[in-house]
Amino acid sequence: MKAELEQLKIEAFQLLNRAQDSSAVDALEIDLLGRRGKLSTLLARIPELPVEERSGIGTLASSIRKELQDAIVAKRGQFSAPTSQSLDFDPTWPGHSPSIGHLHPVTAFLERSADFFASLGYTIADGPEVETATNNFDRLNIPANHPARDLWDTYYLNPARAGLLLRTHTSPVQVRYMDSHKPPVYIISPGRVYRHEATDASHDTNFTQLEGLAIDRDLHLTDLLGTLEAFLKHTFGKVKVQVRPSFFPFVEPGVELHMSCLLCGGKGCSACKQTGWLEMLGAGMVHPTVLKNMHVDPAKFSGFAFGIGVERMTMLLHGIPDVRLLLSGDQRFLEQFHY
Ligand SMILES: [Zn+2]
C-alpha cells in the first residue's frame, strides 16, 4: 500500500500542475481528498493490513494529505485576483533603510568655523552657561550701575543666591580662561547665551555665540579686521562688509561689522529690519581695564575680541528667513540641511 500512496501523490501533483483554472482545482480536490476520493478509498483498506504496518501507513497518508492540501491552496491562489492582504508582503520591494540623523545647521556652522580658526592657530575654550554676575559683567568692565547692563538683560537664578544668571555672552569664558593662562593667547569659545527680550524674525531669547580672543604683543585693530575679513570670506565667499564704530564696555575702540543682507539683496526685509544690512559681529580692542582684570599688563600686551552671532550667519548662509525656525524642532525644516 505504501507504493500505491506514493504513486497517488506523484499523479496528484502532475494533475495539479496541469490544472488550468480554479474549477479544475476544485474537481481535483474532490477527486483526491473527498469523502469518496482516491485517498479515502485507499485508506479504507487499512484494516486489511497486518497490525504492525497500520500505523506507519496512517502516518504516511496524513503527511501526503497535508502536502496535497497545501499544494491545492497554493494553486488556487494563482487563479484568484490579488487581494490587499496578499499585497502586504512584496519581496521585490526595496527594504526600509534606517533614517540616519545629521548635524543641526547651527552645529555644522560652528564646526566649520572652529576648523577655520583652528587653521589660524586658535584653540577652543569652554565655560558654563550659568555664570556669576562678576564674570558676566563686572570683570568685563560693566559695573552694577552701568547703563550697558540694560542691553544685556537676562534671566537671574534664585534671587536668594544673588549674582547667578544665565550668561548673556560667551565673554565670561575669556576671563575664566585667563585666570589660568598667560599670553600669548588665541582662543575661541562657542556656546549658548541668553537674553531677556521679545522674539522676532531676527531675535531669540537664547542663541549661539562664537567668541574670539587674541592677546599678544603688538596686536592692532588691523589684525582684528584682517582676521574677521578672512573669516567672512571663508564663510560667504565674496561679501560686502561695513565697519562701523560702536560701543561695547569691554573694548576700546569698539566696532560692528555689518554685511549686506543676502536674503533681500540689500533692498530691505524683516530679517534686516528694512535696512539692507545685518549686524554680524561686535568686536574691538580689549579694554585696558579688562586686560588688568584678566591679570594682563596693558603696557606689555594688547588684544582683540570678537563675538559672532552664529544663528544670524547660519540664516544668511542658507537663506533662512526667521531665526525661530532653528529652534522649532520641525523636522521638515531641519531635514533640508544634510551635510
Ligand atoms: Zn534683508
DSSP string of 19-47? --SHHHHHHHHHHHHSTTSHHHHHHTTGG
- 222 and 149 belong to one structural domain: yes
Gap from CA of 321 to ligand 1 centroid (Å): 9
- 172 and 32 belong to one structural domain: no
The pTM for the full model equals 0.66
- 48 and 117 belong to one structural domain: no
Confidence (pLDDT) at 149: 73
Question: Which positions of the chain have pLDDT values less than 50?
Answer: none
- 68 and 200 belong to one structural domain: no
Gap from CA of 207 to ligand 1 centroid (Å): 20
Last residue of a domain, one of 79, 95, 114: 79
Say how many Å lie between the first and final Cα of the chain, rounded. 73
Number of domains in the chain: 2
Exposure of 38 in the CB half-sphere (CA atoms within 13 A): 18
- 183 and 277 belong to one structural domain: yes
Confidence (pLDDT) at 1: 81
Q: Which domain holds residue 46?
A: 2-79
- 190 and 255 belong to one structural domain: yes
Gap from CA of 265 to ligand 1 centroid (Å): 7
**Of 196, 38, 287, residue with least CA distance to 29:** 38
Confidence (pLDDT) at 84: 57
Does 220 reside within a domain? Answer: yes
Does 271 reside within a domain? Answer: yes
Q: Is the preceding peptide bond at 183 cis, omega within 30 degrees of 0?
A: no
Does 214 reside within a domain? Answer: yes
Gap from CA of 315 to ligand 1 centroid (Å): 11
- Total residue count of the chain as it appears in this document: 339
- 171 and 231 belong to one structural domain: yes
Gap from CA of 69 to ligand 1 centroid (Å): 75
Does 84 reside within a domain? Answer: no
Question: Which 3 state secondary structure label does DSSP give 79?
Answer: helix
Confidence (pLDDT) at 156: 81
Gap from CA of 77 to ligand 1 centroid (Å): 65
Gap from CA of 272 to ligand 1 centroid (Å): 4
Confidence (pLDDT) at 33: 86
| Residues belonging to the active site | 152, 169, 195, 209, 251, 305
- 26 and 112 belong to one structural domain: no
Gap from CA of 285 to ligand 1 centroid (Å): 29
Confidence (pLDDT) at 15: 86
Residue 316: count of CB within 10 angstroms of its CB: 22
Gap from CA of 326 to ligand 1 centroid (Å): 18
Does 92 reside within a domain? Answer: no
Confidence (pLDDT) at 117: 96
- 165 and 49 belong to one structural domain: no
- 198 and 326 belong to one structural domain: yes
| CATH number of the domain where residue 156 is located | 3.30.930.10
- 72 and 143 belong to one structural domain: no
Does 99 reside within a domain? Answer: no
Last residue of a domain, one of 28, 61, 79: 79
Does 339 reside within a domain? Answer: no
Last residue of a domain, one of 79, 96, 124: 79
- 48 and 193 belong to one structural domain: no
d(CA 333, CA 105): 10
Does 100 reside within a domain? Answer: no
